[in-house]
Amino acid sequence: MKKILFMACVFLSFNSYALELAKYPIELSSGDGVNVVIAPTTDKKQALIRVTGISHEIDNITFLTDYKPHGSNNAYKYTYDGSERSLVSVVQGYYRCCSYTLYIPETRDGTYLTQKEESSPELVTELKAEYEQQLNEGVQAKLANFNREKHLAYQQKKITTANSDIDKQCGLKIETTVDWKTIDDKTLQAYAVGSFCSQVANEMISMCKKDENFKSDIAHINTIECQFTDKLKLRQNSKTLTFKTAPKAPNQSQFIQSYLLNL
């Protein structure tokens, strides 16, 4: 992995020196402290982009982006946390260019940006120098890699919340468990594992709210063991419910509810 990362850095570094950038950058501002500088290549297929004024790890990092289609418009795209993302979208106006929107990772809404009338050519040189320095330090490569620890912590929090809510609503200590070592990066990146695995707990919580007597029906259960598979199953073995969730299986909540009603 380290060798691949090193080769990627070397390749990107070589490309950075070969970049032919346009003389003038595009300077953008949100009006409340968020600023973006875009230095397009002369062929307009790529651009160096730096975002400042945001509370995020991409703040003040210069990325080499590709200008690609994005829906019916276009966007400057880069790789972050293991996947390609749009950093700044561009909407071509009917009478003038353009409308720009910044997309910060882990936020839902974009930030609308307006273009400054004048821009400084010195920013292009500054951006290229910063990009090359950060590239040599491996900054962009680190941000491009899938952050398993971050995703794992987020999904584990959903399980912890479900366990706590069962205790509050049903008055029972029933713990949902997941063998996280069996969840590979691809699965963790593609699916909300915590949400899938907490489905049984959430159905229990809902059924406890509807019927006080249901609490006694599940009082003998102390563990929900969740597994990611290709077939939906739910089985009881003594005090443990083994829940095999299949991400593409439909009607999972109804399936779980029907099973719980027949415990």
Question: What are the tens digits of pLDDT across the range 100-111?
Answer: 999 999 998 999
Give me the percent of the chain exceeding a pLDDT of 90: 87
C-alpha to C-alpha distances, 91 to 99, 118, 227, nearest whole angstrom:
5, 20, 44
Instruction: Indicate the pTM of the whole model.
Output: 0.80
Exposed, middle or buried: residue 177 (CB in 10 Å: 0-12, 13-18, 19+)?
Answer: middle
What pLDDT does 7 receive? 44
Residue 21 β-bridge partners: 41
What pLDDT does 17 receive? 53
Could you tell me the residue ranges of all domains in the chain? 2-144, 148-261
Residues 186/240, Cβ–Cβ less than 8 Å = no
Task: Read off the DSSP letter of residue 19.
Answer: -
CA distance 28 to 26: 6
CATH number belonging to domain 2-144: 2.40.160
CA distance 180 to 194: 10
For the cut 90, the answer to whether the pLDDT of residue 122 exceeds it is yes
Q: Please confirm whether the linkage preceding 226 is cis (ω < 30° from 0).
A: no
Residues 228/260, Cβ–Cβ less than 8 Å = no
CA distance 131 to 198: 43
CA distance 239 to 172: 13
The pair of structure tokens assigned to 213 is 């007597």
Residues 48/21, Cβ–Cβ less than 8 Å = yes
Residues 245/220, Cβ–Cβ less than 8 Å = no
pLDDT per residue as tens digits for the range 143-170: 999 999 999 999 999 999 999 999 999 9
Nearest to 172, CA basis, from 164, 182, 180: 164
Work out whether strand 73-80 and strand 175-178 pair parallel, antiparallel, or are unpaired. unpaired
Overall average pLDDT of the 24-33 stretch: 95
Task: Read off the DSSP letter of residue 55.
Answer: S
Task: Read off the DSSP letter of residue 41.
Answer: B
pLDDT per residue as tens digits for the range 57-88: 999 999 999 999 998 899 999 999 999 999 99
